[in-house]
Amino acid sequence: MSGIVNLSLSRRRLLAGVSAGAGVLVLGLSLPVRPARAGSASPATVNAFVAIAADGTVTVQSPFVEMGQAVYTSIPMLVAEELDVPMSAMRCVQAPHGPAYKIMFGNSVRFTGGSLSVRSSWDPLRRAGATARAMLVQAAAQGWNVPASECTTDRGDVVHAPSGRRRGYGELAAVAAQLSTPAEVTLKDPRDFRLIGQPVRRLDSAEKVDGSAVFGIDVRAADMLYAAVRQSAVVGGAIKSFAADAVLGLPGVIAVEPIPNGVAVLADGHWRARQALEQLPVEIDGPDGETFDSEAWLARMRARLDDPGKVAEMRGADAAAVVAAAERVVRADYDAPLLAHATLEPMNCTALVRERRCTVWAPNQGADFVAEIAAQITGLPIESIEVLTPFLGGGFGRRSTLDYVVQAVTLANRYRGRPVQVLWSREEDIRRDHFRPLGTARLRAALDGDGMPAAIHITAVGDGPMRRHFAMFMEDPALDESVIEGLVGQPYAIPAARVDYVYEPLPVQIGFWRSVGNSLNAFFKECFIDELAHAARRDPVEYRRALLGAAPRFRRVLDQAVQMSGWRGQAWLHEDGSRRAHGVALHESFGSVVAEIAEIAIDADRVRVHKVWCAVDCGRVVNPAHVIMQMESGIAFGLSATLGERITIEGGRVGQSNFDDYPILTPAQMPAIEVAIIDSGAALGGAGEPGTPPIAAAVCNAVFALTGTRVRSLPLAGWKLGCKACAPQVA
């Protein structure tokens, strides 16, 4: 069946199958590389396995998962560039878990997120290709009995120009695999790149179009058990008891089992399991004490906005003191709600535990973490755990939290010898999400006589996913960088700047959401900059330009977006009769600078975003087509949250459960998007997330330009915007 994979297909067989044909050889390349994190004392190491078949097909094992961001093309591009083969010869599969593939943070961890995949791979994967190329050249030179220095390569062949001889990589792979790995290789001068910097077509497009691509939800096997799960619908609650006898006689039902955080019904098909689960009598034990209410908790957080907190950044004089003594101060409070990830493919995992081996098929963002979980549950050594990562039907940070894996492996461990597939319903997926945290911030600025900021003081109150999930990487245990990222290190030339962080732990599950803290803080910061421009009676673009005199990279990006959009600082009457306005936002995240300008109109209190212009400087670009796709995707993701997404919790119960009450962006709401890439020559930045943060501020700043209504709380749904104050100044 198209799109279905049998569980007997292991990674090793897959690798061989991709390279179809006899003579497949794997070159295990142990390569020293520079640490991914600046300041690391010890070098990182990567094993890049390059399989070369007799027909010249090259298969690369990617350390990072494919969840729509096109790493299964970008990673092979890095190898192919240095190996000197055309992309038509390249294939890509997922690398296994294990220390050989931990190429991030000084060889301590590997996960897919933080827009780090290509940035982390830039050096080691290019070296993998260059090393394989050197070995193939040496193999050919030995066979011809000529110096290797006389040999060159040309798109999958080794060439000896003096004699006119040529041999394909497939012919040479067997000999090359026996050679010693060279200690040093020379990488290409960027001026000689053939692939890097070019818009290369994705390698996974065909299988995703014809339906043969395998996602976690597609996994099937004989004798499989299908598990539908139910977890407590109350924050802090648990499943107290359930009446298994009420459903055990239903068709196909095999068992009812307790699982971490809930209960599972196992059947011979998912639909039967889910139908039985809906009929299962369950008693829920609520939390001790007062139940969680998101609005009440936000009020609690707001009450702490003047607390001193932890100083996250201090530049120049003490901004708090400057603001307190200033005659002219602008102050504003902003907040953003809990958000779900709402991945198209709900959480799922399939596991098979045998006496001496455990195999897990899990859409995930960290295979090593999956392996560790499986080893802990089964008691098997980590070497006996195999993790297979299919395509992800959306990640956005949600699949870095592996509660669904725990459930599947727990059940499979009880039913050893039978594969068990856990598949969450959409309702479970939303209600039991690890939400983007609720956040609020107070921003204060002292203005000088010209209306320019002499000092800015920001207090952010909240909780962050770093503390919850990756506390071991926090440089300061008291400072969760995921809460204040995007507020510190801003490019604006303000003489005194201070950012305080007030920790207010949230009693709900929280996790990483696309662009993490930047998704909140760009909204807070960039809307506030617009407020300052308005107070100074200055055009928002010109105000920013005046503050960017010492940041030419940011200024170039802003100017590019302005040029593309034909920026209009005042609202105007469009030829279709609608009143329209522009809004602007500029933000750096994950090493990339993005400026976005949104053009909006308002119809019956509903914001209609007609177009978004996006300029991005992400340093050197591997594949510009992918960068454009990711900017478009990030804008759509952020716009969806801006317009209508919000998780509310009342009486401890999540108020949303499906797309009818948690609306995501529809095709009719999708604006036209125009993207321009600026190649500044800077170090590689990310592409998967930086498009998301600026869009909320750009849209909300346009709302103010059009209506005079300042939006300081998201989403826009529910705001009474109208056109009663539409465009006090209409050009």
* 288 — pLDDT class (breaks 50, 70, 90): low
Residue by residue, DSSP assigns 597-649 as: EEEEEEETTEEEEEEEEEEEE-SS-S-HHHHHHHHHHHHHHHHHHHHT--B-E
* 17 — pLDDT class (breaks 50, 70, 90): very low
- Given a contact cutoff of 8 angstroms between Cβ atoms, the answer to whether 28 and 45 are in contact is no
Q: What is the mean pLDDT of residues 96-115?
A: 77
Q: What is the mean pLDDT of residues 50-72?
A: 91
* 50 — pLDDT class (breaks 50, 70, 90): confident
For the record, the structure tokens of 660 come out as: 């009818």
* 228 — pLDDT class (breaks 50, 70, 90): very high
DSSP conformational letter for 186? P
Percent of the chain with pLDDT over 90: 81
Segment 118-162, tens digit of pLDDT: 998 999 899 999 999 999 999 999 999 999 999 999 999 999 999
Task: Indicate the range of 293-307, 597-611, 715-729 predicted with least confidence.
Answer: 715-729
Q: Is 646 buried (19+), middle (13-18) or exposed (0-12) by CB count in 10 A? A: buried
- Residue 532 one-letter amino acid: L
The pLDDT assigned to 54 comes to 87
Is the pLDDT at 102 greater than 90, yes or no? no
Q: What is the mean pLDDT of residues 264-288?
A: 94
User: Could you give the residue range(s) of every CATH 3.30.365.10 domain in the chain?
Assistant: 11-207, 216-287+347-423, 296-338+435-707
Cα 148 from Cα 142, distance rounded (Å):
8
Q: Is 336 buried (19+), middle (13-18) or exposed (0-12) by CB count in 10 A? A: buried
Q: What is the mean pLDDT of residues 452-457?
A: 98
* 184 — pLDDT class (breaks 50, 70, 90): very high
Ordered strands of the 90-94 beta sheet: 25-33, 44-52, 58-62, 90-94
Helix (H) / strand (E) element for 558: namely helix 552-565
Return the exposure string of 386-419: e unless at least 16 CB atoms fall within 10 Å of the residue's CB, then b.
bbbbbbbbbbbbbbbbbbbbbbbbbbbbebeebb
* 291 — pLDDT class (breaks 50, 70, 90): confident
For the record, the structure tokens of 193 come out as: 């790149």
For the record, the structure tokens of 184 come out as: 């040093």
Is the pLDDT at 724 greater than 50, yes or no? no
For the record, the structure tokens of 648 come out as: 């509310």
Tell me which of 434 and 30 has the higher pLDDT: 434
- Given a contact cutoff of 8 angstroms between Cβ atoms, the answer to whether 362 and 387 are in contact is yes
Give SS3 for 330. Answer: strand
For the record, the structure tokens of 559 come out as: 């100017």
Q: What is the mean pLDDT of residues 504-520?
A: 97
Q: Which CATH number is correct for 11-207, 3.30.365.10, 3.40.50.1980, 3.40.50.12160, 3.40.190.290?
A: 3.30.365.10
Domain 296-338+435-707 has CATH 3.30.70.100: no
The pLDDT assigned to 107 comes to 61
Cα 672 from Cα 613, distance rounded (Å):
9
The pLDDT assigned to 719 comes to 86
Give residue 30's region: left, alpha or beta (phi > 0; psi -120 to 50): beta
Is the pLDDT at 12 greater than 50, yes or no? no
* 722 — pLDDT class (breaks 50, 70, 90): low
Cα 524 from Cα 335, distance rounded (Å):
8
Segment 394-434, tens digit of pLDDT: 999 999 999 999 999 999 999 999 999 999 999 999 999 99
Distances (CA, A) of 462 to 301, 367, 436, 510: 7, 29, 11, 11
- Residue 129 one-letter amino acid: G
- The CATH number given to 216-287+347-423 is 3.30.365.10
Q: What is the mean pLDDT of residues 555-576?
A: 97
Helices (H), 145-242: 169-176, 205-210
- Cβ-based neighbours of 657, under 8 Å, separated by 6 or more: 426, 427, 430, 431
Which of 65, 70, 31, 67 minimizes the C-alpha distance to 49? 31
* 104 — pLDDT class (breaks 50, 70, 90): low
- Given a contact cutoff of 8 angstroms between Cβ atoms, the answer to whether 430 and 662 are in contact is yes
- Given a contact cutoff of 8 angstroms between Cβ atoms, the answer to whether 266 and 256 are in contact is yes
Task: Indicate the range of 314-318, 604-608, 673-677 predicted with least confidence.
Answer: 604-608
Work out whether the CA dihedral 404, 405, 410, 412 comes out positive or negative: positive
Q: What is the mean pLDDT of residues 323-340?
A: 98
Cα 101 from Cα 216, distance rounded (Å):
22
Cα 125 from Cα 36, distance rounded (Å):
13
- Cβ-based neighbours of 327, under 8 Å, separated by 6 or more: none
For the record, the structure tokens of 650 come out as: 């009342």
Distances (CA, A) of 160 to 150, 153, 154, 172, 180: 6, 9, 10, 14, 22
For the record, the structure tokens of 510 come out as: 């929280």
Percent of the chain with pLDDT over 70: 91
The pLDDT assigned to 290 comes to 75
The pLDDT assigned to 289 comes to 67
Is the pLDDT at 28 greater than 80, yes or no? no
CA torsion 267-269-273-275 (nearest 10°) is -140
- Cβ-based neighbours of 266, under 8 Å, separated by 6 or more: 225, 226, 227, 253, 254, 255, 256, 257, 273, 411, 415, 420
Distances (CA, A) of 271 to 44, 219, 264, 423: 47, 15, 13, 10
What pTM was estimated for this model as a whole?
A: 0.92
564: number of CA atoms within 13 Å, CB side?
A: 24
Work out whether the CA dihedral 541, 544, 550, 554 comes out positive or negative: negative
The pLDDT assigned to 106 comes to 60
Q: What is the 3-state secondary structure (H, E, C) of 475-508?
A: CCCCCCHHHHCCCCCCCCCCCEEEEEEEECCCCC
Q: With both helix axes pointing from N to C terminus, report the angle between 540-547 and 552-565 in degrees, rounded to the nearest 10.
A: 160
Task: Indicate the range of 159-173, 276-290, 613-627, 672-686 predicted with least confidence.
Answer: 276-290
> What does the radius of gyration of the chain's CA atoms come to, in whole angstroms?
27
Task: Indicate the range of 52-66, 95-109, 490-504, 596-610 predicted with least confidence.
Answer: 95-109
How many other C-beta atoms can be found within 10 angstroms of the C-beta atom of residue 57?
21
Round the average pLDDT of the chain to a whole number and report it: 91
Cα 433 from Cα 397, distance rounded (Å):
11
Is the pLDDT at 44 greater than 90, yes or no? no
Strand residues in 448-578 grouped as ranges (E): 453-462, 496-503, 572-573
Longest CA–CA span in the chain (Å) reads 85
Residue reference for tokens 């907190």: 309
Q: What is the mean pLDDT of residues 600-607?
A: 92
